[in-house]
Amino acid sequence: MAGALLLFSCQQQPETANRISVDFAQKGAKVSESMYGVFFEEINHAGDGGLYAELVQNRSFEEKEIPKGYSVRDGRLYPAPVTNHLSGKVSNQSFKWNPEDIPAWSLSDATKAHISLSKKNPLFEEAPTQLQVTVSDASKPVSVINSGYWGMGFQKDRRYQLRFYVNADRSYQGTITAKLLSADNQVLASQSFDLKSHNKWEEYTAQLTASATDGKGKLAIELNQAGTVSLDYVSLFPEKTFNNHPNGLREDVAGFLQDLRPAFVRWPGGCVVEGLSLDNRFEWKKTLGDPARRPGIYDTWGYRCSYGFGYHEFLEFCEDVNAGGMYVCNVGIGCQARMGDACSENQVPYYLDDCLDAIEYALGDVTSEWGAKRAAAGHPKPFPLKYVEIGNENGGPVYNARFDIFYKAIKEKYPQLTLISNHGLGDGVKEVKKTDMIDPHWYVNPDYFFANTTIFDNQPRGDYHIYVGEYACNSQVGAGNMLGALSEAAFIFGMERNGDLVTMCSYAPLLENRNNREWPVNLIQLSTDSVVGRSSYYVQKMVAENKPDYNVSTELLLGNEVLKFGKGAFGLGTWDTQAEFKDIRLTVGDKQTETGKENWDAVKGQWTEKAGILSQSSEEKGAMIIRKNFKGEKYSLNLKARKTGGKEGFFIYFGMQDGNKNGYFLNIAGWGNTRTAVEKLENGNTVRTTKSVPHSLETNKWYDIRFVVNTSDVELFIDDISIGKFEDKIEQRNFAIAGYDESTQELILKVVNANNSPRVSTIDLKGLKEVSRDGRAITLSANAPTDENSFAEPQKIFPVEEDYHQFGTTFNYTFKPNSFTIFRIKAKN
């Protein structure tokens, strides 16, 4: 059972003082130019229906194409049985499958026409599926309608480029009309086409100008005679895309990414790199060339990826935003969290060659095979590829051996590239011969980041750097609230402070279509016509815009508060574990009381009493039994207890109030039977955990337990040995870091106040020859830690920049509650 470390109270408290001391005589690590980048993966419809500007969903009618070797049963997608290279077992997993017969396409009147999929006489062998439309009754025109990605975003007077292919049977002698429709089927634009031929694929194009704005628009292809027509590659793009590229990106979404000033862009993933299994991996070569020929693939995250935002488009975007490209290659391993298969050793050269071809496409001379293909695509100049990550979230002996093979081969041919392994912190990296960087990932709750801002401080320095490729506070923060953003800011301080070791980082995931949330928290949310940056987005933007050249010593002096537990009931419990309790005695002062069966109220779980033994026999999480008619705040419990099965230890509840929804519990040998700590309950949920102590229990062994409850601390004894004393201590959530920008001669001081009260701070700036009184303060703040940006209030949490004229070598400042503040102060050192 995992505990969380959140604020106890949402009541605003009086201002509290602290001191921030910055000493320029103690220069710290440089902050890398490449520190902040972005990581794109096709998840949450981040590309199709997101960054990629195509408005038509299922444009090539390939969305029901089942991956090679896979099958669909009972509405679920089943991979072919393959052996996981780590476990040696076949994983029996299944994945979601779109239940629609022809996703995103429908008829205006299904009584007068029929649509079906066909592969007969394909337009493109790579993407052979087509839509066959047979009109049986043309007394009124019939349309096939595409709904887009939960609608199409049309803007008044904007032009849209239509491209589609028709193969008309001789039975059809009518015309074809393309229409842009509003949500209520009003015609916003229309263009009719005479057929060029019959029984032959022909391309048709048009430019359509929308007469009104509508975020839920549709595209209709109208037929006005009976007969049969086949359609393929029906595509609709806004004429204006980011940097006006054909097959380009949404201007508004790409603009949001550009505003982050990314030093690098990582692509294509993420788990899509490996696929559910190797047969389902992302194949970059199939993303090149005419989008109409791209087959797409069933995406790891449960829908079809069109391959529209392909390798060339990725490199083009890197160039547009002046970012280094990071390509993530596959080493012949399927996603280890899914099927986890690995190719045979004699197939490894195929995957290595595939990676080298990708690098050659980006960097190779135009006389090379893949450099020539890049030039033929209209880009003879090399692209800014700077990094290659070898595999994604892979590990184990097979991966380590393959990493060494890839590293050696790539370095020999492209020594200028930075090569990244999938290893996290710890000793795993020692299993490979050499790497330039490792890539640890963190998806956590706010308290993890607050508690681990120093995680890199004592990390051994070796001959490699760290790229934190995926990190986010995505637990217990709704869809991404201010508390989560502040915890990320605090964690970022730790990365900047250790800039000699951590030289790159990227938040993940990047984008989410509001209609398809596959991951609980994402940086940017979008719809057909809107883009919303969460508070975390603005944290990322602020740190990228205010990155110093190097750090200087920063010390933060503050106090902590110890809370009282409060008067309440006590009880016993378990989590996914069976346990027995006996000889339970309550001592208050000098009075000792035995507790029998009649004294207990079973709240959750299967509780029985026999021969003086109180047993809990279910595997329920959070089983609870509470002692009746007792409220206390200073007492002790003596009992014997043993676990009889399960994964954890047992609980002692205390200070329970409000119908047992609020209070505390001592989690003895929790977290997989590894440690003991006190957890705080609010409204039935764990919101805080004290510092824990390592501790485990044996199954079927009776333990003598003494639990001493005082007003503000509790102590656990087992077999007369103190396991630990625990306090409900709220550490003030304030963090600060300072650095210097040589080009502007400015001190940059960043401060997080993650408390729900203002913080008055005295700031001392030491070791400077001159400090100007004038500068700027940039503040991101929220009224409450649970506040979030939304489509209704997209800038509820938004940076406010203002001039400030009271800086000095010593000055006072009141930091707002729930705030991230950056000072830029003119200073000479």
Query: What are the pLDDT digits (tens) for 342-354?
Result: 999 999 999 999 9
Other beta carbons within 10 angstroms of residue 140's beta carbon come to: 9
Contact between 388 and 326 under an 8 Å Cβ cutoff? The reply is: yes
Query: What are the pLDDT digits (tens) for 366-382?
Result: 999 999 999 999 999 99
Distance separating alpha carbons of residues 117 and 121, to the nearest angstrom:
12
Closest CA to 717 of 670, 668, 681: 668
Q: Which amino acid makes up residue 351? A: Y
> Read out DSSP for 601-637?
EEEES-EEEETTEEEE----EEEEEEETT--BSSEEE
Q: Which percentage of the chain shows pLDDT scores above 70?
A: 97
**Mean local confidence (pLDDT), 714-739:** 90
pLDDT given at position 18? 85
Contact between 242 and 183 under an 8 Å Cβ cutoff? The reply is: no
CA distances from 655 to 179, 685, 724, 778 (A): 67, 15, 18, 42
- For 152, half-sphere exposure in the C-beta direction (CA atoms, 13 angstrom radius) is 31
**Higher-confidence residue: 687 or 758?**
758
pLDDT given at position 557? 84
Contact between 181 and 217 under an 8 Å Cβ cutoff? The reply is: yes
Other beta carbons within 10 angstroms of residue 735's beta carbon come to: 25
pLDDT given at position 11? 33
> Read out DSSP for 303-314?
SEE-S-S-HHHH
Structure tokens at 429: 């990296």
pLDDT given at position 39? 98
Query: What are the pLDDT digits (tens) for 662-700?
Result: 999 999 998 778 889 898 898 888 777 777 788 899 999
DSSP 8-state class, residue 342: B
First vs last C-alpha separation in the chain: 50
Distance separating alpha carbons of residues 483 and 479, to the nearest angstrom:
11
Q: The pTM is what?
A: 0.83
DSSP 8-state class, residue 699: B
Average per-residue pLDDT for the chain: 94
pLDDT given at position 188? 98
pLDDT given at position 673? 86
pLDDT given at position 724? 93
Query: What are the pLDDT digits (tens) for 547-598?
Result: 999 999 999 987 666 778 889 999 999 998 999 999 999 999 989 888 777 7
Query: What are the pLDDT digits (tens) for 420-463?
Result: 999 998 888 999 999 999 999 999 999 889 988 999 998 889 89
Query: What are the pLDDT digits (tens) for 488-544?
Result: 999 999 999 999 999 999 999 999 999 999 999 999 999 999 999 999 999 999 999
Q: Which percentage of the chain shows pLDDT scores above 90?
A: 89
**Mean local confidence (pLDDT), 802-807:** 98
pLDDT given at position 565? 87
**How does residue 4 score in pLDDT terms, banded at 50, 70 and 90?**
very low
Kind of pairing, strands 385-390 and 324-329?
A: parallel
On the question of pLDDT at 610 being above 70, the answer is: yes
**Higher-confidence residue: 194 or 561?**
194
pLDDT given at position 251? 98
Other beta carbons within 10 angstroms of residue 712's beta carbon come to: 13
Query: What are the pLDDT digits (tens) for 118-142?
Result: 999 999 999 999 999 999 999 999 9
**Mean local confidence (pLDDT), 6-14:** 32
On the question of pLDDT at 612 being above 50, the answer is: yes
Query: What are the pLDDT digits (tens) for 262-319?
Result: 999 999 999 999 999 999 999 999 999 999 999 999 999 999 999 999 999 999 999 9
On the question of pLDDT at 748 being above 70, the answer is: yes
On the question of pLDDT at 726 being above 70, the answer is: yes
**How does residue 15 score in pLDDT terms, banded at 50, 70 and 90?**
low
